[in-house]
Amino acid sequence: MGIILSLILMAVGAILTWGVNSSGGSINIDVVDLRTVRPMDVEAIARSVQKTNRAVVLEEGWEVCGMGAQVVDFIQRECFDDLDAPVLRVHQEDVPMPYAKNLERAAKPDAGKILVTSKEYPVVVDVLVFKKDFLQKNPKIVKATVDSFFEALDMIKREPDKAYELMGSVVKQPGDAFAKSAAYIAWQDRAANKAYYAKDHKQFVDFAVRVLKSTRVIEKEPKAEEMVDLRFQ
């Protein structure tokens, strides 16, 4: 099902559309569109937070002294017992509104910022990248590299103390300190990796491409199936 949250909107036009359509299928959103802030429809906000237990407040304005702070204040005070996580805010960057169109787009909230903020948890991504010609010329090396990656994950299950000691040494942390950080990490073994690429990868890439195109970071659309080689799973 993914994450379920309340999205409190104080926005119009494009940002409103981004807010409603920002989940990409990975987040289930209960939208509260506040048409007025005085009086503020606090009953609607409370009902939504009671259903979802999480909230993201979206506004097309600055963080400091923004109306979103008033909404967050209400939720934290009056809906505290319903919250499973801190209330999050998505807002304009803390800069004067630029004149150049590309800088204006960068300053305003967009679908990418909304999605990343809504995810709300730390993400550690290990990606093995090889050029296509290297894959074709060195399949044994690629397979050995992939196998060693999953063998390392198996070691975490078998010998967690030793594994955390080794990984902690890379970042100059003792094993027990690294283990505390690792408590927030969801390790994906070979089976989970196969499940992700079978079901979720294309959906994620398609949404990421839409976000990157809407913000004009890219012009050409890559295809999800052309970005991965699953022979070595």
pLDDT in tens, 4-27: 555 555 543 344 444 445 444 555
Cis-peptide, bond into residue 39, ω within 30° of zero: yes
List the Cα angle 89/200/90 in 5-degree steps: 10
Q: Which two tokens stand for residue 213?
A: 């195109």
- Report the candidate in 163, 161, 127 with the shortest Cα–Cα distance to residue 145: 127
- Cα–Cα distance measured from residue 17 to residue 26, given in angstroms and rounded to the nearest whole number: 17
The residue ranges of every structural domain in the chain are 3-119, 132-232
Tell me the CA distances in angstroms from 208 to 25, 75, 193, 195, one per residue in order: 12, 30, 19, 19
- pLDDT at residue 208, as a whole number: 72
- Indicate the pTM of the whole model: 0.45
Per-residue pLDDT of the chain (233 residues; tens, 9 = 90+): 344 555 555 543 344 444 445 444 555 677 787 777 788 888 888 988 888 888 888 887 787 888 888 888 898 899 888 887 788 887 777 778 878 877 777 777 665 555 544 454 444 456 677 888 888 888 899 889 888 888 888 888 899 898 889 888 887 888 888 888 777 677 778 888 888 888 877 777 777 777 677 666 677 777 767 777 788 87
The one-letter amino acid code at 60 reads E
DSSP β-bridge partners for residue 37: 40
**Whether 48 contacts 30, CB under 8 Å:** yes
CATH number for domain 3-119, candidates 3.40.50.2300, 3.50.50.60, 3.40.50.920, 3.30.450.40: 3.40.50.920
